[in-house]
Amino acid sequence: MKTLILGGYGNFGARIARALARHDGIELLIAGRDAARAAALAASLGPDARAHALDVNDESQLAAALRGVGLLIHAAGPFQTQGYGVARAAARVGVHYIDLADGRRFVCDFATALDDAFRSANRCAITGASTVPALSSAVVDHLAHGWRALDEIDLCIAPAHKATRGTATMAAVLGYCGEPIEVWLDSRWQRRRGWAAPTAVQFARLAPRLGALCDIPDLELFPARYRGVRSVMFRAALEVPATQRGLALLAALRGARCVPSPARWAGALNALAAVFDPLGSATGGMVVRVRGVAADGARAARAWHITAGDNHGPEIPCMAAILLAERIARGDAPAPGASACIGHLRLADFAPEFARWGMVTDEVDEAQP
């Protein structure tokens, strides 16, 4: 299957390309604006990989690149400022589509905008094939399986400070710094400011960290998927407390409209983060906590943790796209239509990828006697 990876030489695209290059049934096209970077990566992947210079804003160029392609993987973020032009082009040509989007509106509005087009093309389109909501929803499904009721969902990602930081990712997370975010709390929508009011978060194998609210699709998708849930929260917990408090200060200044959106400083702040490297490590992780009523009627609280060492944390956002691409290459594509990446993968599907990178998972019963 010929697979075009848009942004294939980027922080996440290159990881996906290296993983898929292992499969004999997949021929790779590494695409992006920088022809030299695309060619360099393609050359390192072997004879089944080629480079393709591509500007996605040129519709005719994009359509020509997709001819003969079976799958398009869109890894050229940030998605917070993008429309659905790439996905629509895939539907018109009749190509399966996967992206790694974590932009709330992009992911939450995706099915409404594109389902009819992909059903007509008899192809699938899956958005959010990344840590959220693909892995996060698989974990929640696993932890609360068989429960009578699911009341609370609390998620937190804790990146390693020394892990590769992409400027595009930095721009995305700074885009909502200090901005109001709609959050489902106490069975009603409430507004909280992004990156403000950091609180302590406990991990199985990491030291406690301060975590603050980030805007992700799960905040909107989970109240709809898990009917009756009273609260859904997502935080990011940076390893160096000074950086977390610095973002909280920026959030306060932005909330008071004393400064413009910090997203414009993404490049500079990304470089500044390197100053704190001596205080950080190469280990990061994630925790998902759920509370509710178990099958026997007892109150239940469970947590799932993952710990990633050696700066392997950035592999996690790539895993869902890799797993889905392998499925499609085997001829086991999801049903035609457009959807967020919820219910397409089980937690067990991720286990081989976790093992490949030496990641450790823990499940903890946190229910009080």
Domain locations in the chain as residue ranges: 2-130+315-345, 132-313+350-365
Mode of pairing for the β-strands spanning 49-53 and 27-32: parallel
Q: Tens place of pLDDT for every residue, the chain, 369 residues?
A: 999 999 999 999 999 999 999 998 899 999 999 999 999 999 999 998 999 999 888 888 898 999 999 999 999 988 888 999 999 999 999 999 999 999 999 999 999 999 999 999 999 999 999 999 999 999 999 999 999 999 999 999 999 998 876 677 788 888 899 999 999 999 999 999 999 999 999 999 999 999 999 999 999 999 999 999 999 999 999 999 999 999 999 999 999 999 998 888 888 888 888 888 889 999 999 999 999 999 999 999 999 999 999 999 999 999 999 999 999 999 999 999 999 999 999 999 999 999 999 999 999 999 876
Burial 240-267 (b: 16+ CB within 10 A, else e): beebbebbbebbbebbeeebebbbebbe
Provide the whole-model pTM: 0.95
What are the CA-CA distances from residue 138 to residues 4, 159, 343 (Å)? 26, 20, 7
* Token pair in block for residue 32: 């992006």
* Token pair in block for residue 254: 């932005």
Q: Please, are residues 289 and 300 in contact by the beta-carbon 8 Å criterion?
A: no
Q: Please, are residues 327 and 346 in contact by the beta-carbon 8 Å criterion?
A: no
Distance of CA 149 to the CA centre of its chain: 27
Burial of 165 by CB count in 10 Å (0-12 exposed, 13-18 middle, 19+ buried)?
middle
Q: Please, are residues 305 and 285 in contact by the beta-carbon 8 Å criterion?
A: yes
What integer pLDDT is reported at residue 369 of this predicted model? 63
Q: CB neighbours (10 Å) of residue 274?
A: 12
Count helices and strands (H / E) in the chain. 13, 16
Instruction: Give me the helix-helix angle, 13-20 and 35-45, nearest 10°.
Output: 30
Evaluate whether the domain defined by 2-130+315-345 bears CATH number 3.40.190.10: no
Q: Longest C-alpha distance within the chain, in Å?
A: 64
Q: Please, are residues 25 and 3 in contact by the beta-carbon 8 Å criterion?
A: no
Peptide bond into 133 cis (omega under 30): yes
**Which residue type, as a one-letter code, is found at position 190?**
Q
* Token pair in block for residue 270: 């990304």
117 has which bridge partners? none
What integer pLDDT is reported at residue 272 of this predicted model? 83
What integer pLDDT is reported at residue 26 of this predicted model? 95
Burial of 154 by CB count in 10 Å (0-12 exposed, 13-18 middle, 19+ buried)?
middle
300 has which bridge partners? 292
Separation of alpha carbons 27 and 205, rounded Å: 39
Q: Please, are residues 34 and 8 in contact by the beta-carbon 8 Å criterion?
A: no
Evaluate whether the domain defined by 132-313+350-365 bears CATH number 3.30.360.10: yes
DSSP 173-189: HHTTBTSEEEEEETTEE
Q: Please, are residues 178 and 281 in contact by the beta-carbon 8 Å criterion?
A: no
Q: Please, are residues 321 and 130 in contact by the beta-carbon 8 Å criterion?
A: yes
Q: What angle do CA 147, 151, 153 make, to 5 degrees?
A: 100
Tokens 């950035």 -> residue: 314
What integer pLDDT is reported at residue 78 of this predicted model? 84
